A and B are shown apart, each in its own frame.
Chain A
Amino acid sequence: MLEIKGLKADVDGTEILKGIDLAVPTGEVHAVMGPNGSGKSTLAYVLAGRDDYAVTGGSATFDGVDLLSLEPEARAAAGLFLAFQYPVELPGVGNANFLRTALNATRRARGEPELDAVQFLKLARAETRRLSVPDDMLKRNVNVGFSGGEKKRNEVLQMAILRPKLAILDETDSGLDIDALKIVAHGVNTLRGPDFSALVITHYQRLLDHIIPDRVHVLAGGRIVRSGGPELAHELEAHGYASVAAEAA
């Protein structure tokens, strides 16, 4: 279970997260919704360990382990996965090589045997088929020349192959058409189970029609201002963030 208590973080001396309290029990999918600039992406990056954010207070633990004290790669090995809002291009790095390097690094950190090229390709092909991702996406350089939708699908493919225990999806729905959105949702839904949790960060309710969350949290001004069931997403869609935030204040 992910437990965030009083988490505060700065970027360049400006406080963005002003005391986040949030708990995602194992097996649950929670959504974090909020207006632009509310700190959603900062929360995602702080949890994944990006070093241009300074944590100034509070804690974040995953299955009792202090996440904030770990290097980003150790967080990944512990089972955390961040699907990037803007996936990064890696010219000169083949996608298959990238995925196998990532998978084997994680397996090594967990004391599991590494996969050879043949074993890996078998696994990767099974996942590309399941997610309706064309096989040639494995041959191309990571995210280079990918459309917005292809980049997001590639994030979901990575997630499917790395099998995290906790996935954070940072606005994975932004810029997606409905077909790509369904593929992304399908990718998350097939991982759902008693050992998988997810934090779905989104601006819109649209994605939550396809990934039904157990809980919805509203993030505004660097704090969680409201929490509720899936119906909260519809309420936000109908009345807007301003009214919900005002009501909470």
Chain B
Amino acid sequence: MRLASPVKPSSAKTEQIILFRVSGQLFAVSSASVQEVRSADSMSGAAIEITAPGIRKVRQVVRRGDRSLFIVNGAMHFGLHAADGALLFVLRKTRTALLIDGIEKMATMTRLQALPLSFCHEERQWYRGLTALDQTVVPVVHPEGFLSPEELASLDAALLQTDNAARAALEETNSAP
């Protein structure tokens, strides 16, 4: 008689997350998605002002070699009350540096539940899903969800315009008697 092979206890897949606040609201992001955590002040010196039509959440850009990182104000992105962010998350594999209030803590996520289908607007791009931690529900953000391809194209165009204006101003200064 053959016995059914015992079912291996499945090792629960866990993920390290960082809980952070934006305008007082709690969010989570996978720690693997965060490349760097910087104070907002440390970046502001190197930041260039930028204005792209219709994208109020991005006011500054930071150059890093041949890459440009757009600083996204988290409060404006989520439509929360404007707050001066204190920290920046440089998000891996994106061109986003996210301005947040601060880090709450690190935690281990054991289950990520898909965003219920009732949520059917922009939040579907914002969040990977929801997780329950200590009897609280926290949305887990999507690192690529802060800037859409259209917004990135618009920001790149605005950046080019800013660069051209700066170049023209420099040439004018140099050619002045």
Q: Do chains A and B stick together as partners? A: no
A contact set with B: CB distance below 8 Å: none
